[in-house]
Amino acid sequence: MYLILDSYGTLVEMDDFYGRLYAGFQRLGIQASFEAVKKAAHREMRFYMSQARFAIDWPSYEKIRLECAGELIASLREQNVNITASKEAIAHLLGESVVFRALPGARETLAALKERGVRLAVVSNWDYRLAHALEETKLLPFFDFVLSSAQARSEKPGREIFERGIEMARRFVPNLKARDVFYVGDHYEKDVLGARSAGLKPLWLVAKERDLPSGDIHCANDDVPRLRCLKDLLKLF
């Protein structure tokens, strides 16, 4: 048996991304309302999530971050915000604004699962820096392995990234079957449907109907087991 988890929205979240971005624009002398910045950030994040799997190293990541800055600038200009800073300066601001923190209860839950002998791993749509983000939030030591879409060259909800995750898990549990792997995630289409299509058992983390980083709301009618918080895993394992 194996427990594989998603990362963003399941284990980690950004620490006041909109606030940091808004304050950064103020420092650059760009007068944009908080709502305008948030709307632009939603557009930028949608673009980033569509490109994350292509950020396989630092040069490709920097290229995508510059393109993300372009999306941010375009959205703000559409909202009649005068942009006086360069795209490079905006890209630098984006990098400074992205700070991750562990979700409440994540460390305690992972530690308890580890003590019970549960094997843990992460499979997530993310750029090549996924392990760094988990290390930054002090979660990395709990996992046997971490697999990003950039490493797998495929992304959820496609089967390939889940199948690659199972292959990696077999290094620790030989002859592991997909039906013996649970996958925890907060996105219905990418996590629940994706894991199910690859033969894994999905567990849907739905703490509340909340705004995802892309600006999308997740909801669905399904009998998939639901978790109100990560700590609910301790009732199952």
Of 7-16, 176-185, 201-210, the range with the lowest mean pLDDT is 201-210
* Better-predicted residue by pLDDT, 209 or 136: 136
Any idea where the domains of the chain sit in the sequence? 2-13+101-235, 17-98
Average pLDDT estimate for 186-208: 91
**pTM greater than 0.85 (yes/no):** yes
Q: What is the mean pLDDT of residues 114-128?
A: 97
For residue 211, what pLDDT is reported?
A: 45
Band of the pLDDT at 220, cuts 50, 70, 90?
low
| Measured distance CA(54)–CA(47) in Å, rounded | 12
pLDDT for res 59: 97
Q: Which CATH superfamily is domain 2-13+101-235 in?
A: HAD superfamily/HAD-like (3.40.50.1000)
Lowest mean pLDDT among 32-36, 154-158, 224-228: 224-228
Query: What is the model's pLDDT at position 223?
Result: 85
